[in-house]
Amino acid sequence: MEGEALVSYALVRACPNCGAKNRVGAKHLTANARCGSCKTPIGPVSTPIDVDVAAFDEIVAAAEQPILVDFWADWCGPCKMAAPEVHRLAQEMSGHALVLKVDTDAHPDLGARYRVQAIPNFVVLKKGRVVTQHPGLAPRGQMKQWLEQAT
């Protein structure tokens, strides 16, 4: 099929009105999606997205908006402290940015790709390129500022 690309990653989101499951492709995660069944607005993704390598690569390649990537691990105390702030940031930046979470124990190759040596580690990407990278805890306001500067 000339001019078409196979999209393999899609986030399944339930409609708040009718409960229908809707597949939202990587390119449309920050868009104001509508339910395929009842046409109710679903809105852009407003939570962090846990990704594997394939989903990460596809989302980063398709995203028009900046992305904050939270590299973390389940055993990491500071990562657990950062998680609620990262979640709130995803809500605040919904429609303007994406927040991805990469478990460095499950996907060490992604951590290695970005030279993550300490966690938590935050990387801001725009059009697939690193805009900024910061190891260690950071307040939500600082993370928001990184994303706004990348816009």
Whether 36 and 65 share a structural domain: no
The tokens for 123 are: 């990387």
Whether 65 and 37 share a structural domain: no
Establish if 4 belongs to a structural domain: no
Determine whether 1 is exposed, middle or buried from the number of CB atoms within 10 Å of its CB (0-12, 13-18, 19+).
exposed
Which pLDDT score is estimated for 8? Answer: 64
Which pLDDT score is estimated for 111? Answer: 96
Whether 37 and 55 share a structural domain: no
Active site residues: 76, 79
| CATH number of the structural domain spanning residue 24 | 2.30.30
8-17, 27-36, 52-61: lowest mean pLDDT where?
8-17
25 near 9, Cβ under 8 Å? yes
Number of domains in the chain: 2
Whether 91 and 139 share a structural domain: yes
User: Can you tell me the mean pLDDT for 81-109?
Assistant: 97
Establish if 31 belongs to a structural domain: yes
Sign for the CA dihedral angle at 40, 41, 46, 50 comes to positive
Whether 18 and 88 share a structural domain: no
Which pLDDT score is estimated for 33? Answer: 86
What's the domain range around 128? 49-150
User: Can you tell me the mean pLDDT for 26-41?
Assistant: 91
